[in-house]
Every structure is written in C-alpha cells, then in structure tokens.
Amino acid sequence: MKNRLKIARAELNITQEELAKRIGVSRQTINAVESGKYVPSTVLALKMAQVFDKKVEEIFMLEDED
Amino acid sequence: MKKNYLFPNSFKLVGLVIFAIAFIALIFWKCLENSPEFKMPALIEGDLLGDCDFFCIAECGLITFIMPLLIIGLVFIGFSKEKIEDEFVKSIREQSLVWATYCAAILLVIFSLTVYSWSYLYAMYSIFPLFLILFIIKFRIELYKANKEGGAQ
C-alpha cells in the first residue's frame, strides 16, 4: 500500500511531530507509515484522514500486489 | 479491542531494580562455596514418576529465591508500556516475541540433544529467562532502529 502522507503533511505545513501529537502516536510511527515500512490500522488511517480533512482513499492507495 | 496486558511504564524501573538485585545475588551464589540452605513448603519433592512426596517441607538453596526474582524483573522490563505505546510499538513487540520464541525453541532443541545430566536441568532452568532476555534485546534493537530512522528524517 502506498501513501501520500508526506505530501498531505507538506500541504498542511505540519511536521511529523505535530501530526503524531494530534493523533496520539509517536513520531517514529508517522515516519514508519510515511516510508511504507508500517501499514497503519483502520483507526489510525481514519485519524490521519481527519487531520488532513480528506478521505482515507486520498491518502492511502492499494498497489497491484496488495 | 483496546485491552492489553502490559504493565504501566513505571514498572520498567522496578523491573530493572529487581533484575539487578537478582543478578548480583546470582553472582554471589555462584561465588559461595557453601550456599546456605533453607526449608520451604513444597508441592512435590523427589521423582514425580517414581518415589516422591507431596505437600512436604523441602530443603532448597539460594537459587530457589533468585530465579523467581530474575523472572519477575525480566517480565517487568519486557512487558511495561513504552512512554508512547502505540500500534507501531505493539507490532514491534509482537515481532520481537515471535523472533525470541523461535530462538528459544532452537536453543531448547540444541540443549535437549547436547546437554546431559545436571547440566540439562540447569539448561532447562535457564531457558525461560533466556527467552525473556532475547525478547528484550530484540525489542530494544528494533525500537532503536525505528528511532534512528525517524531521527534521520
């Protein structure tokens, strides 16, 4: 699964630390999601989408191998 | 869904203190030529498949008290919440547990095939603390890696 988290974050002009604080996770978690090393749960994905005021599908997309 | 069985973060320090005390006691016990003996109420004493007593008083050494302390200390260290215990940390914890289980299983097989007599008893005795130590080391390394990668961004 790929994501547009870094772009969405840049659009909103917030750091990983700020995003992490808003949704109650560590900065390492945001970094792991951004780099594709960790696929977040539905709850976390929804929380992220809420921060960016976007639909989950606009931030997270399935890839062919998924 | 949100339920987990982890101890509060403060238990990590308690665990470290208990582990340190147990570890020093272990070295002390190893250095002693004549370890003191104690009488303790026992569920079973003797050979379970042969001649044994149930619910009796048994003689034991210092190690009887050291091992439970070691295990309690290690459990507190390994299963206390991190400052931010989120789902990513949970996944690292789970992966580390799986890895440590495999390592302990391999060690168990090796010990069973290559260690005999009293040494086998010691090896079996040490397998659970060893499993906990392997889990803690792996978990800490993976957390460190995640922190380092995060810091580089």
Output the pLDDT for position A66: 79
Tell me the nearest-neighbour CA distance from B86 into chain A, angstroms: 6
Which residues in chain B have their CB less than 8 angstroms from residue A24's CB?
Answer: 86
A36-61: string of b/e by CB count within 10 Å (b at 16+)? eebebeeebbebbbebbeeeeeebbe
At residue B45, φ and ψ (nearest 5 deg) are: -135, 135
Within a domain: A63: no
Within a domain: A19: yes
Q: Which residue is closest to A25 within chain B, CA to CA?
A: B86
Tokens found for residue A7: 């772009």
SS3 call for A15: coil
Q: Which H or E element spans position A12?
A: helix A5-12
Within a domain: A17: yes
Within a domain: A59: no
In the block, residue with structure tokens 């002390």: B28
Q: Which residue is closest to A39 within chain B, CA to CA?
A: B88
Per-residue pLDDT for B150 more than 70? no
User: Of A33, A39, A26, nearest to A66 (Cα)?
Assistant: A39
Task: Please state the ipTM of this predicted complex.
Answer: 0.88
Q: Pick from A26, A31, A37: which is nearest to B84 by CB?
A: A26
Work out how many domains chain A is built from and give that number: 1
Q: Mutate which of A14, A19, A28, A44 to test chain B, going by most B C-beta atoms within 10 A?
A: A28
Mean pLDDT of B46-63: 87
Output the pLDDT for position B152: 57
What CATH number should be reported for the domain holding residue A19?
1.10.260.40
Per-residue pLDDT for B2 more than 70? no
User: Of B147, B19, B137, B122, nearest to B61 (Cα)?
Assistant: B122
Residues of chain A with pLDDT under 70: none
Output the pLDDT for position A9: 94
Tell me the nearest-neighbour CA distance from B141 into chain A, angstroms: 14
Which pTM was predicted? 0.88
CA B49 to chain centroid: 27
Q: Which residue is closest to B90 within chain A, CA to CA?
A: A29
Q: What percent of chain B has pLDDT over 90?
A: 66
Within a domain: A65: no
Per-residue pLDDT for B93 more than 90? yes
Mean pLDDT of B121-134: 93
User: Of B78, B49, B94, B83, nearest to B137 (Cα)?
Assistant: B78
Within a domain: A46: yes
Q: What percent of chain B has pLDDT over 70?
A: 96
Give the C-alpha separation, B72 to A7, whole Å.
Answer: 46
Q: Domain range spanning residue A28?
A: 2-53
Number of continuous H segments (helices) and E segments (strands) in chain B:
4, 2
Output the pLDDT for position A31: 93
Tell me the nearest-neighbour CA distance from A60 into chain B, angstroms: 17
Output the pLDDT for position B63: 85
- pLDDT 10s digits, B21-51: 999 999 988 888 777 888 999 999 888 888 8
More confident position, B131 or B52: B131
Q: Which H or E element spans position B105?
A: helix B87-114
Within a domain: A47: yes
Give the C-alpha separation, B118 to B111, whole Å.
Answer: 12
Per-residue pLDDT for B153 more than 60? no
Mean pLDDT of B67-76: 96
Give the C-alpha separation, B150 to A26, whole Å.
Answer: 10
Q: Pick from A16, A24, A25: which is nearest to B88 by CB?
A: A25
Within a domain: A49: yes
Tell me the nearest-neighbour CA distance from A29 into chain B, angstroms: 6
